[in-house]
Amino acid sequence: MSRTHSPRIEMLGIDASKAAAAEASIPEAFAELSVFRVLLHHPELAKAITGLLTTLLFRGSLDTRLRELVIMRIAWVTGSCYEWTQHWRVAIQLGVSEQDLLSVRDWKNAPSLGDAERAVLAATDDTLELGKVRNQTWSALEKQLGDGKELLELVACIGNWRLFSQLLQSLEIPLEDGVEAWPPDGVPSPAAS
């Protein structure tokens, strides 16, 4: 699917985006993404966002499957087509099943999800609804993730991809050329309706 709209802030050309990324010590592969082609208008901000993003994606201790389910839940609830589409591909490459990815749409009734998945998805919903994790949900998280790095990382993960959803939608960031948008099964997000 080609871009159907322009972002609210014009995307840098690929060469300009790569040059800005190099100056800000941001991986070149990021510079090709539509979101960074907009963010790199503000290299310091892009660099700060990249620091958290790369920590969570490449140096984190939270199980990658759980992380991707959280991201997909945020994308679904907020109606972020870009986030859903990009992380659908990432999650599949990481070995998360299509069934599990689709289950985030109605995770409370998904028989394939276990206690850890339910705990992190409840924390995601709590945060989206209340801005924080409820005490009961936190207790379930402690049972599943322990009381250290993974809990901190989960909270940061939810916040980071909620931020990305907000950026993507507020700035009206289009998918990259040639990337087909969600939904592959024809069921749109309730937020996209």
Query: Are 107 and 177 found together in one domain?
Result: yes
pLDDT level of residue 42 (50, 70, 90 thresholds): very high
Query: Are 38 and 18 found together in one domain?
Result: yes
pLDDT score at 164: 97
Per-residue pLDDT of 53-98, as tens digits, reads 999 999 999 999 999 999 999 999 999 999 999 999 999 999 999 9
pTM greater than the 0.75 cutoff:
yes
Q: Is position 9 within any domain?
A: no
Query: Are 68 and 54 found together in one domain?
Result: no
pLDDT level of residue 147 (50, 70, 90 thresholds): confident
Domain span including residue 111:
64-192
pLDDT level of residue 28 (50, 70, 90 thresholds): very high
Q: Is position 6 within any domain?
A: no
Query: Are 21 and 71 found together in one domain?
Result: no
Whether the predicted pLDDT of 160 surpasses 80? yes
| Joined tokens for residue 50 | 């990249």
Query: Are 94 and 185 found together in one domain?
Result: yes
pLDDT score at 96: 96
Query: What is the CB-side half-sphere exposure of residue 92 using CA atoms within 13 A?
Result: 9
Instruction: Classify residue 86 as exposed, middle or buried by CB count within 10 Å of its CB (0-12, 13-18, 19+).
Output: buried
| Joined tokens for residue 75 | 């994308």
Q: Is position 2 within any domain?
A: no
pLDDT score at 37: 98
Query: Are 76 and 149 found together in one domain?
Result: yes
Residue at a domain's end among 41, 58, 75: 58
Q: Is position 77 within any domain?
A: yes
Query: Are 36 and 131 found together in one domain?
Result: no
Query: What is the CB-side half-sphere exposure of residue 25 using CA atoms within 13 A?
Result: 5
Q: Is position 5 within any domain?
A: no
pLDDT score at 185: 60
Q: Is position 8 within any domain?
A: no
Whether the predicted pLDDT of 186 surpasses 60? no
Angle in degrees, CA 50, 51, 55, rounded to 5: 110
Q: Is position 106 within any domain?
A: yes
Total domains in the chain come to: 2
pLDDT score at 116: 98
Whether the predicted pLDDT of 31 surpasses 70? yes
Whether the predicted pLDDT of 127 surpasses 60? yes
Residues in CB range of 164: below 8 A, 6 or more apart: 35, 80, 83
Query: Are 107 and 89 found together in one domain?
Result: yes
pLDDT score at 190: 63
pLDDT score at 77: 94
Q: Is position 33 within any domain?
A: yes
Average pLDDT of every residue of the chain: 92
Average pLDDT of the segment spanning 12-29: 97
